[in-house]
Structure 1
Amino acid sequence: MTEPQSALLLRRQLAELNKNPVEGFSAGLIDDNDLYRWEVLIIGPPDTLYEGGVFKAHLTFPKDYPLKPPKMKFITEIWHPNVDKNGDVCISILHEPGEDKYGYEKPEERWLPIHTVETIMISVISMLADPNGDSPANVDAAKEWREDRNGEFKKKVARCVRKSQETAFD
């Protein structure tokens, strides 16, 4: 039985990341027998409120990857305007290709088959450093980020960073 194209592509991307790690995150399979479910560890970017955090997330790839984007969900608690309260990451690059029915995103900002795990993770790390308050997944976090960035928002993020350090290697 031959492997589907998506599995070959994911295997290649995993091998490449293991051979040439990218600063800011590491990636591996949740279960060695399932190429479609990855676990990533994201290091909070320097000079951001998330600095020092070690955030665990899961990437779940569809069988028709790379035509369709994976879903990403933080397992570690994180307080961020673009991550909803259950951990789902909401950024343009992970939205299905084509027109945005709400008109917020240009088609070229959305998923394209040229994206790799590396480009996804670089986008997520950049999202941590620079949230998009215009289309929040977590409205409460977005409101605090806009109105009380150095108060309540900063406190909640600091609590998440501390908790992430304690549970990073559980």
Structure 2
Amino acid sequence: MSGKKRIVKELGEITSSPPDGMRVRLVDESDVHIWEIFMDGPEQSVYSGGTFRLVLTLPKDYPFKPPILAFQTKIYHPNVSNDDKGSMCLGMLRSDEWKPPNKILAVLNMARNLLVEPNPDDAVETGIAEQYKSNRKEFEKTAKDWTKKYANAKK
């Protein structure tokens, strides 16, 4: 199966039965390589009540190269870069850990699980990770404030 066929198949599966708290669509109908994801902050997390916009970019040689997942909505999280890229640090998305049988659905579920349980030991924002470990109350307060401030645009 060619990469494009597989992408179309995975997109079909995800749009017909989307993961909990997520809506997925193509940014541009003519390009199956760029997906827009709206992810609701999980109820049991400090991001609850927010809706985050992410962009998933699939390389031309997918599934042999991992997709890139980036938060477009600012989020206070140890595993998401605090710059305009919003890069997400997910083990399975590293080129040395990515395996062609991995599915986009697994990537999305893993990203959502990181909102419930950040991984401070694999942080892209070390300051936030330190705060998460040493002062959880302060971390949670800031994460909730950012969620209210940036992630409240309901779609």
Q: Aligned pair count?
A: 153
CA RMSD of aligned residues (A): 1.5
Contact 1:55 1:168 in 2 (8 A): no
**Aligned-residue identity in percent:** 30
Contact 2:33 2:57 in 1 (8 A): yes
User: Tell me, what secondary structure is at the counterpart of 2:13?
Assistant: helix
1:11 paired residue number: 8
Q: How far apart in 1 are the matches of 2:39 and 2:129?
A: 21
Q: How far apart in 2 are the matches of 1:117 and 1:25?
A: 13
Select the structure of larger CA radius of gyration: 1
Contact 1:17 1:27 in 2 (8 A): yes
Q: How far apart in 1 are the matches of 2:80 and 2:103?
A: 20
1:136 paired residue number: 123
Task: Report the CA distance between 1:135 and its aligned residue.
Answer: 2.0
Contact 2:50 2:152 in 1 (8 A): no
Query: Residue type matched to 2:93 in 1?
Result: L
User: Tell me, what secondary structure is at the counterpart of 1:83?
Assistant: coil
1:32 aligns with 2:19: no
Q: 1:142 to 1:47 in 2, by over 3 A?
A: same
1:149 aligns with 2:148: no
Q: Which has the higher strand share?
A: 2
TM-score under structure 1 normalisation? 0.84
1:82 aligns with 2:68: no
1:96 aligns with 2:95: yes
Runs of 5+ in structure 1 lacking a partner? Answer: 98-109
Task: Report the CA distance between 1:33 and its aligned residue.
Answer: 0.9
Alignment of 1:53-72 (within 5 A): 53-72=50-69
1:112 paired residue number: 99
Over 4 Å off, 4+ runs = none
Contact 1:43 1:51 in 2 (8 A): yes
Contact 2:73 2:151 in 1 (8 A): no
Task: Report the CA distance between 1:14 and its aligned residue.
Answer: 1.1
Runs of 5+ in structure 2 lacking a partner? Answer: none
1:51 paired residue number: 48
Q: How far apart in 2 are the matches of 1:57 and 1:49?
A: 18
Task: Report the CA distance between 1:24 and its aligned residue.
Answer: 2.4
Task: Report the CA distance between 1:165 and its aligned residue.
Answer: 4.2
Task: Report the CA distance between 1:168 and its aligned residue.
Answer: 3.9
Query: Residue type matched to 1:92 in 2?
Result: G
